[in-house]
Copies of this chain bind each other. A is one copy, B any other.
Amino acid sequence: MSPTRIPEATVARLPVYLRALNALLEGDIRTCSSEELATAAGVNSAKLRKDLSHLGSYGTRGVGYDVEYLRYQISREIGLTQDWPVVIVGIGNLGHALANYSGFSSRGFRTVALLDADTSRHGELVAGLQIRPFTELAAIVREHGVAIGVIATPAAAAQSVCDSMVGAGIRSILNFAPSVLSVPEEVDVRMVDLSSELQILAYHEQRKSNGGPDLEGVPA
């Protein structure tokens, strides 16, 4: 069905399109043009069309796209038609927020376990799940067929947790700890670095202030 590999940049935008399509459906809009969908997703319409063309020809010329049909096709392409068990390791401030986040489960991601090394937290109920010892990782992965792991521990523990995850058979990791993880070739790591995001904003903000009114900060 999808013989060609989809460009990475396109893959990263598919979830955005999916969100836009869901929003349209909630407004009872059954059909949309690439222009409308692109606006809703915040991208160029040409880019959107090219992205979608990588999945196949799901639109109709002169008409547009059937919202529900396109949503299904994108979901299938990403793999959201199946259910993905997820484990979260490190149930501190961030881990709590993630465990309570409904946006994950609503998209086919099912948190099957919350793990923490701190014994004093074991048994504590978070979002309907008990916090369990980190040592149970391998058993849980095996039992539920977990493929995706989330790391929300301090940076110092991240690599070690990562190694255990890989050892247990997890092949996709979402890392919130500000730490570069080294993993085997076949394992995917995506890093979410909130501090970096703020720093990038700060860089541009500084540029706006300095480069704006006067070029040099020192007057004659």
* Chain A residues with a Cβ under 8 A of chain B: 6, 11-12, 14-16, 18-20, 40-42, 77-80, 82, 84, 86, 93-94, 96-98, 100-101, 103-104, 107-109, 147-148, 171-174, 178, 180, 182, 186, 188, 190, 192-206, 208
- Given contacts A41-B180, A208-B171, whether A98 and B194 have CB atoms under 8 Å apart is yes
Checking B78, B199, B202, B208 against A202 with a beta-carbon cut-off of 8 angstroms, the contacting residue is B78
Specify which chain B residues have a CB less than 8 angstroms from the CB of A194 in the assembled complex. Answer: 98, 101, 103-104, 174, 192
Q: Are B86 and A14 in contact (CB under 8 A)?
A: no
A180 to B108, CA, bound (A): 22
| CB-defined contacts of A196 to chain B, threshold 8 Å | 12, 15-16
Contact: B202 with A80, CB < 8 Å?
yes
Bound-complex Cα distance A190 to B196 (A): 11
What number of copies of this chain does the assembly contain? 2
The answer to whether A84 and B205 touch (CB under 8 A), given A19-B178, A94-B97, A180-B42, is yes
Whether the Cβ atoms of B198 and A107 lie closer than 8 Å is yes
Pairwise interchain contact A188-B205, C-beta atoms closer than 8 A: yes
- How distant is the Cα of A78 from the Cα of B198 in the complex, in angstroms? 10
Cα–Cα distance between A192 and B190 once the two chains are bound (Å): 12
A40 nearest CB across to chain B (Å)? 7
Q: Find out whether the CB atom of B147 lies under 8 angstroms from the CB atom of A199.
A: no
Given A15-B196, A42-B180, 18 new contacts (CB under 8 A): A14-B203, A15-B193, A15-B195, A15-B200, A41-B180, A77-B203, A78-B206, A82-B206, A84-B202, A84-B205, A103-B195, A109-B195, A109-B198, A148-B202, A148-B205, A171-B205, A173-B201, A188-B204
| 24 chain-A/chain-B pairs, Cβ below 8 angstroms | A11-B200, A12-B200, A14-B199, A14-B203, A15-B193, A15-B196, A16-B180, A16-B196, A78-B202, A79-B202, A82-B206, A84-B205, A93-B97, A94-B101, A96-B96, A97-B97, A98-B194, A101-B194, A104-B194, A104-B198, A148-B201, A148-B205, A172-B204, A192-B192
